[in-house]
Structure 1
């Protein structure tokens, strides 16, 4: 009997320590309670905590589930292999690139990739200072694939605010848009050092890759094409601290999501899309002041919520989405679907596109 009481007390002490942020804060609180109310105060505090344990545990489990998100197993997550065997030539659709260049020193590298786009590609580039504007203008001097326009915005909303709202007037002039930015991931160390190149290679790695993506965006209401996730990121993909703000954002579009909904989004927020597939997001008319002050956050901002809202907005607009991957850059070859002829696209899309919203395509 004494031993069971000891175990019960130990469990309760551990619970208190965990809830108070560690042993020292818990001990400090216990001393304060003892001085003010004696042993009875400590017992009452523990009793009240025990009463709330079940509800707190249920809430914590729900929050953990929402944070992780509903994701497929690695071997069940498919993408189209690029480039296609014989991609079609580019059609007459107008295309632009909307680029956020926070790090103008990377513009030379980016310009090399943009040269792989067949045909005309107008550039709309945002940055955060006049000094950076001068660097960017110099980096794209002599660009001959289309027009170049650089705009300076305040440093809020990362690439998301400039892309959707700083260039809100641009989308209706084009059929297709490329979302790109000068990505660095200093918080990720060596594992994320190659993330930018991984995304650039999948979106712009060769003229054949771009032609393959253009062909996908011509097929059966595909509204967005983005790279399969960098494999290192797969175990940590989730809602993080963004579920509530993403749900609130989507509700403004008339879209409802719940904690168990299937989670998918373009990690890194780089993609090709049909411009009208983003209309529901753009019509929110958010302002730069709606976005968080920049403080080096790695999660939990409005920009992170918008990133996770992209595909739900695409589906709410009546479109599907597709992921693509290079065989030599992704370690699960059995999940890559080759396209040797246009007839391979419809059955492939049924495996690649997992509908996020019930009742949608």
Structure 2
């Protein structure tokens, strides 16, 4: 029987925008030069092409409702009929219509996660997860962000989701640590096993163009916490060179422990920049009513006007930080 670490990784992609999938499929075919499986979730809106690569060894499609953004489809897939796998990659056809740089942001995320390097075949993150068993999740470069200041509307949905997952956490703990912004990441199946075991569908709202405060946003902020609750460390792409180097020095003795992985990650994150992170977290945490008003406004005004309003708020926030 094939060892767990040698099982083909499974790539999960929620395809809400078929035109974006065409580009993403080419990126996957170009970057992944080891056998892998692919699970596409979509709303049945069109025929989707498979990546043109000889390394695709398993392919499945799951038709889902347009609910829960990319998160509920991912959780639905986790509970589905899947081939054996130990390591997964979660992607989605992110468009971010409320931002001017949505396409650039998506390409940065996917190409960061698919980047090659290290000492073996396949993406660098896959190699690292295969050699470091205490590592459970890897976020894109610059996207393992602090939770503090980013929970203005998310405390209640996070608490409800933790309760459904059977994980106890004090309210103060919700604000501690980091989360994988964008909900794209590599992961170890065992690290996210509570999500595949729980029935979370009733928590997810119908789609109404919400900007924050939904079950999908709660899950985004909990993937890392659940990973850590299962005994694993979370990291991000900018920390992998240091982790690989430290692991090579340890090879033949022990794998890196969780504390070492955390320390290496903290050191790398402290010098990394995220060109797509908006410096608004503290502002929104101080002005929750204004954030709720922003949500209502977003659903009722034309996109060009909304983008202009966002630019004004950003300028105000930067001046009053």
TM-score by length of 1: 0.61
Q: List alignment gaps of at least 5 residues for structure 2.
A: 267-321
2:37 counterpart residue number: 122
Aligned to 1:223: 136
- Are 1:160 and 2:160 an aligned pair? no
Quick check: which one's helix share is greater? 1
* Larger RCO: 1 or 2 (CA < 8 Å, sep 6+): 1
Distance 1:322 1:282, change over 3 A: same
Q: Which region of structure 1 is more displaced relative to structure 2, 166-175 or 238-247?
A: 166-175
Q: Is the 8 A contact 2:243 2:264 kept in 1?
A: no
2:212 paired residue number = 299
Q: How many residues align?
A: 249
8 Å contact kept, 2:33–2:122: yes
Partner of 2:104: 194
Question: 1:157 touches 1:291 (CA, 8 Å); kept in 2?
Answer: yes
- CA shift, 1:350, in A, is 3.6
Partner in structure 1 of residue 304 of structure 2: none
Assess, with a 3 A threshold, how the Cα gap between structure 1 residues 186 and 141 changes in structure 2: closer, same or farther: closer
Would the aligned equivalents of 1:203 and 1:210 in 2 still touch at CA under 8 Å?
no
**Which secondary structure state, in structure 1, belongs to the residue aligned with residue 171 of structure 2?**
coil
Q: Bigger radius of gyration, 1 or 2?
A: 1
Q: After TM superposition, give the deviation of residue 206 of structure 1 in Å.
A: 3.3
Q: Are the structure 2 counterparts of residues 240 and 198 from structure 1 closer, same or farther at C-alpha, using a change threshold of 3 Å?
A: farther
Distance 1:235 1:269, change over 3 A: closer
Deviation, 1:155, is 0.4
Change in Cα spacing, 1:146 to 1:185, as seen in structure 2 (3 Å) is: same
Q: Does the 8 A contact of 2:13 with 2:92 survive in 1?
A: yes
For 2:179 and 2:122, how far apart are their aligned partners in 1? 20
The 3 A distance-change label for structure 1 pair 314 and 141 is closer
TM-score between the two structures when normalised by the length of structure 2: 0.68
State the 1:172 CA deviation: 6.7
Alpha-carbon spacing, 1:216–1:182, altered in 2? closer, same or farther (3 Å): same
| 1:275–1:147 Cα change, 3 Å | same
Cα offset for 1:207? Answer: 6.2
CA distance in 2, matches of 1:226, 1:109: 21
SS in 2 for 1:299: coil
Equivalent of 1:104 in 9, 14, 18: 18
Per-residue displacement from partner, 1:29-87 (whole Å, max 9, x unpaired)?
xxxxxxxxxxxxxxxxxxxxxxxxxxxxxxxxxxxxxxxxxxxxxxxxxxxxxxxxxxx
Where does structure 1 lack aligned partners over 5 or more consecutive residues? 1-89, 328-335, 355-361
Q: Within 1, Cα distance between the matches of 2:82 and 2:232?
A: 17
